[in-house]
Chain A
Amino acid sequence: MDMMKKVPVREQDPLVRAGNFEEVCLGYNKEEAEKEALRCLNCKNPKCVQGCPVNIDIPGFITKVKESDVKGAYDVISLSSSLPAICGRVCPQETQCEGKCVRGIKGEPVSIGKLERYVADTAREMGIKPQQAEKKNGHKVAVIGSGPAGLTCAGDLAKLGYDVTIFEALHKAGGVLVYGIPEFRLPKDAVVEKEIENVKHLGVKIETDCVVGKSATIDDLMKNEGFEAVFIGSGAGLPKFMGIPGEQAMGVFSANEYLTRSNLMKAFSDSSRTPIMKAKKAVIVGGGNVAMDAARTALRLGAETHIVYRRSEEELPARREEVHHAKEEGIIFNLLTNPVEIHADENGWVKGITCLRMELGEPDASGRRRPVEIPGSEFYIECDAVIMSLGTSPNPLISSTTKGLEANRRGCIVADEEKGQTSKEGVFAGGDAVTGAATVILAMGAGKAAARGIDEYLSAK
Chain B
Amino acid sequence: MKTYDLPDKRGHFGPYGGTFVAETLISALDELCTKYEYYRDDAEFQAEFFHELKHYVGRPSPVYHARRWSAYLGGAQILLKREDLNHTGAHKINNTVGQALLARRMGKSRIIAETGAGQHGVASATVAARYGMECVVYMGSEDVKRQATNVYRMKLLGATVIPVDSGSRTLKDALNEAMRDWVTNVNNTYYIIGTVAGPHPYPMMVRDFQAIIGNEAKKQMLEEYGRQPDALIACVGGGSNAIGLFYPYIGEENVRMIGVEAAGKGIDTQEHAATLVTGRPGVLHGNRTYLIQDENGQIIETHSISAGLDYPGVGPEHAWLKDCGRAEYVAVTDDEALAAFHALCRFEGIIPALESSHALAYAAKLAPTLNKNQLLLVNLSGRGDKDMITVAQQSGITL
Co-assembled chains A and B:
no
